Structure 1
Amino acid sequence: MATRPTIADIARELQISKAAVSYALNGQPGVGEQTRQRVLDVARNLGWQPSASARALGGFHTKVIGLALARPAQTVAIESFFIRFLVGVETALAKRDWSLLLRIIGDHPDQEVEVYRKWWGEGRIDGVILVDERHRDPRITAVDELGLPAVLCGGPRRDTTMPCLWTDQAADAETLTDYLAGLGHRRIAHIAGPREFAHERGRQRGMQRAAARHGLDLLSRSAAYDAAAAVQATRSLMADPTTAPTAIVYANDLNAVAGQRELENAGFTVPQDVSVISWDDSPLTEMVATPITALARETEAYGEQAATVLLDRIAGVDRGRVRVTPSDIVIRDSTGPARAAR
């Protein structure tokens, strides 16, 4: 196996001192611009990458954090959660004069670790925010092994000491189910997002637990976070009038709007025939003819908190497990008593 190129190798190639190479690589004064460029060119040709441990000991910071989103670009553009989350992240970074390096890599979660490895190896970032926690998430071990400071928006997990911001998804799910049970609904449906995401599994567990407690029939479906998938799942649920639910909980605002439109197109009246709830609240849920009841969370504050916990981690302060404020139900016109309860 070839040895990893070092500063000494670059210095030997250029016949200059290791100190001059170090100044050039770290953007410090002490070398001319022509020499700096020659150093960078040789470093690139040799495949040199900075040592994370050496950088930490030297106290060098790029004042940049990274975030890669393994979601299709069209989903990120429409789904308001990520926009609001990023606003919160930028708010926290601006307060400390830091910046965000953002990459949207599409539906390719396997590429996310490689992006972080490249950014960290090139000395472009000081830490990362991990979102969209997955079941058996390979990023956790990979980031730990890199020695890359990180915060997980998810958890809590036993397999890492990484600080995390965790939401009790099961408790939020029970809150929704309790609300529907109180309206007299006995058969409810949950159109969840893909089960690869840890938060979707937590939500399903919570709804199952609450449904069992109330003696409800719970119909579960999984669908992608897009309108077409929500429409297809809704049609499937409502195809047989004898088993159709009287309430449907959708994974996000986009799915809820698309699902409600499909119900109305099929001749159902919301909420007289079917109640509709969105797991995410956003302006989108209020811009429809029948405004949608939604589970509201302080998404901007969540993003700001994630960035703050990461910056503290980079500074040597470990915040550990931080529980996010529970969500609240915002009741609108899309929910009402079940048909049999009228």
Structure 2
Amino acid sequence: MYNLSSYDTGDFTLLGIPGLEQYHVWISFPFCFIYLVAIVGNSILLYLIAVEHSLHAPMFFFLSMLAMADLILSTTCVPKSLTIFWLGPQKISFPGCLAHFPGCLAQLFFLHYSFVLDSAILLAMAFDRYVAICSPLRYTTILTPRTIVKIIVGISFRSFCVIVPCVFLANRLPFCRTHIIPHTYCEHIGVARLACADISINIWYGFCVPIMTVISDVILIAVSYILILCAVFRLPSRDACLKALGTCGSHVCVILMFYIPAFFSILAHRFGHNVPRTFHIILANLYVVIPPALNPVVYGVKTKQIRDKVICLLFPQRSQ
């Protein structure tokens, strides 16, 4: 048995990307640019959805929630990563406090929470498209404002309940060997592997429960789009068919951008013992910055309502 009071849970040190320390400054430039694109793009998206009454529809409410989750995901990790790239290894407090926010546990929570929340939002958006295309006459009666609020509260609460145990499981661990984390941010299993105690429950809960939750989302999303495609190809009008496919195209792009790197990173962490650590950390950093930057771009290009409003906002004279 470990005497937990005898172990120090003070500051940890984030090293960055081991083996590429001499290239940190150069790596920081594209990361900084992509992060700025994510901040500006998602902020514009939120602003347009808030002020434009024509965008006050269920799909755009879910899209605004996706933008907020992306801002949480990127802002939780990228600023600390850029500090490491520019100034070298950085200290991060373990429990965290207001003066040192985000601490390691806070970063861990918001990182994994935004991941599970993003997955749930994509499921809600798939359900929205399914109702819009397969039952268009019942759309407004099914997705009422009350129903939308229930969906948003439900997926937020589900994501919270799935991830909070990870924080408690990490917080209970004793750290008696090293406080050096060879990464740019704190993640659950990466922190747990530094402990001098049995971390079996951390590994199995941290891998199985969130992954099973996300996999169930993926299965339901796949079923939704299969039903959507069946309905689309039965449409009598070719123009209506193309319009429906174009509307769903942006959703499919975002889904692929989100799940492919996320699953690769998770599976590599659990099973990819031969995957170089440098490659894994680079991919993990790309995951927290590229999807949040590309989501508003994809929706801005593929969704006519948003594209027109962005043109009006950026080029008011041209839109007149």
* Structure with more helix by fraction: 2
Mark the structure with the bigger radius of gyration: 1
Shorter-chain TM range is under 0.3
- What TM-score, normalized to structure 2? 0.26
Q: RCO higher in 1 or 2 (8 Å CA, sep ≥ 6)?
A: 2
